[in-house]
Amino acid sequence: MSEPRVILLGTGSARFSLDRAAPALAVLGNGAAVIVDCGDGVMRQAMLASLEPASITGLLLTRLDAEHTLGYGGLVLGGWSRGRRELRVCGPPGTIAFHRKLLGDLYAADLAFQQSLGMAGSGLTDARLLDLDEAWQGDLGAIRVQALPVKGPFPSLAYRFDLAERSIVVSGDAAYSPALVALARDADLLVQAATVSASPLGPLDSAERIYSQLGGHPVSPERAGKLAHDAAVRHLVLTHLLPGADPADLKARAATEFAGRITIGDDLREIVA
């Protein structure tokens, strides 16, 4: 349990498919576990990965769009129903409002009913919530976390975890930037989106153009490779993949920029840092 590692819970995107669940992963180490992003179905994916949801007391969101949050209520309520008694949530500005709208408004009657049956409120109604609009550093249990605002169509964050002399960076949907290079500097593991890749569901050039219009940050495998190279990370993991993405093609394209180890993510794969 203590060896620093990542479990990829969902390596897909907003384009749903049976091959890849929506974006989510777990970071484990120092006897603790946190979840980064809560794509649809994250609760079930965590249990399939043999993670006990009640033991997950830290949730981090990279952005608040549906792609990354549809499973949030399921994980928060599911972990609570299984006995979680504390919870810390961090995310971009709007995270507190999102949590309170969902649990303090939309599901308020349901939660009041469950508490009337004897469910304790701790681990839910006393969740500690944090909106991060600037670089931040803190501890989630035994895991040291740095958060960095990054460019995107929505307020977005990338995270670095330092634990047991290993470092893991999860960049979310963020594309290459000097600040992201600095965050990822010398990391053992960089988990990076490579959403813009060849897919039978749509031509690559249209995806590149859409991303460009959204803020000039296409997340191609080549750019992921350049980020890994410039930050001198040891191991690059590509995730957030479109249906039909060809792993061999992704790897070859990332390798044009990065000579280190490259792994193309699969759901439920565990990767030691």
Residues at the interface with Zn ion (CB under 5 A): 67, 173
CB of 67 to Zn ion, least distance (A): 5
Write the CA distances from 66 to 38, 73, 94, 113, 230, integer angstroms: 9, 12, 13, 27, 31
Give the C-alpha separation, 201 to 141, whole Å. Answer: 41
E strands in the chain: 5-10, 24-29, 32-36, 58-60, 88-91, 128-131, 136-140, 143-150, 156-163, 166-170, 189-193, 235-239, 261-264, 270-272
Give the C-alpha separation, 254 to 5, whole Å. Answer: 22
CB of 114 to Zn ion, least distance (A): 31
> How many whole angstroms from its chain centre is CA 137?
17
Q: Is the Cβ of residue 67 or residue 162 nearer to Zn ion in the bound state? A: 67
CB of 215 to Zn ion, least distance (A): 13
- Closest CB to Zn ion: residue number: 173
CB of 30 to Zn ion, least distance (A): 27
Q: Is the Cβ of residue 167 or residue 192 nearer to Zn ion in the bound state? A: 192
Neighbouring-strand partners of residue 138: 145
Q: Is the Cβ of residue 57 or residue 192 nearer to Zn ion in the bound state? A: 192
CB of 66 to Zn ion, least distance (A): 10
Q: Is the Cβ of residue 64 or residue 273 nearer to Zn ion in the bound state? A: 64
Q: Is the Cβ of residue 45 or residue 57 nearer to Zn ion in the bound state? A: 45
Q: Is the Cβ of residue 127 or residue 157 nearer to Zn ion in the bound state? A: 157
**∠ at Cα 240 (237, 246), nearest 5°?**
80
* AA letter at 240: H
